[in-house]
Amino acid sequence: MGDASSSSSAPNNTKGPISTLPQLHRYITGHNAEGKAIVHSHNDFEWQAYDDDQLAFSVPYTTSQFPPDLNDDADVTNHLAVVGGGKLGLVHPRGTVFRCVDFAPGYACGMHRTQSLDYGIVLEGQVDMVLDSGEVHPLKRGDVAIQRATQHQWVNKSKTEWARMMFVLQDCKPLVVNDQEMKEDLGENSGLPPSGN
């Protein structure tokens, strides 16, 4: 994934989005006593604002093991404990994080790396994926970035419109390149807790 804010300020919790983009909704399914599919719960996304309200995160779901245990709603219980614990980094060790990120017009997050395999999908706007090699790749709506524990940053090139991406971050085994372990690097003053993986 992910994303790292470049500010040391603590996040501001808010119910609705801070951006001009629409509020999103989460539907978690389950089963009734007859084994028929139902909606277990339905909620608006809840958001955390970072970096003077230039960046916002929402985490609609996490898992804590692979494969997840869905019996007796164990996965739902674990998710609520993870997000309620207040210590979730960008990555959840031995699990996954499903995160939505809104970027203010002209915003560039800090260069960062997570120890994870991430799927990032642009939902709204255009976002440049900048790599530490100097490569810059413009991603438009529907484009997908597969981040494989690389140093990167996200830049919303629009001066007037918010951009939105959706990410699935999956913990991965430590990556070694030329005898160097590529550990998590959130940069300076990210304002985010380390993932601990």
- Say how far apart CA 51 and CA 196 lie, in whole Å: 22
Residue 66 belongs to some domain of the structure: yes
Q: What is the CATH number of the domain that holds 148?
A: 2.60.120.10
Both tokens of residue 8? 């040391």
Residue 119 belongs to some domain of the structure: yes
Residue 40 belongs to some domain of the structure: yes
Does the structure show a pLDDT above 50 at 75? yes
Number of helices and strands in the chain (H, E): 1, 14
pLDDT tens figures, 3-56 = 443 343 456 777 788 999 999 999 999 999 999 999 999 999 999 999 999 999
Residue 197 belongs to some domain of the structure: no
Nearest alpha-carbon partner for 115 in 197, 193, 2: 197
Both tokens of residue 127? 């976002």
Do 144 and 188 form a contact (C-beta atoms < 8 A)? Answer: no
> What stretch of H or E contains 166?
strand 163-171
SS3 78: helix
What is the number of other CB atoms lying within 10 angstroms of the CB of residue 34? 6
Residue 92 belongs to some domain of the structure: yes
Residue 2 belongs to some domain of the structure: no
Domains: count for the chain: 1
Does the structure show a pLDDT above 90 at 109? yes
The model's pTM: 0.90
pLDDT tens figures, 151-194 = 999 999 999 999 999 999 999 999 999 999 999 999 876 677 78
Domain span at residue 68? Answer: 12-172
Both tokens of residue 183? 């550990």
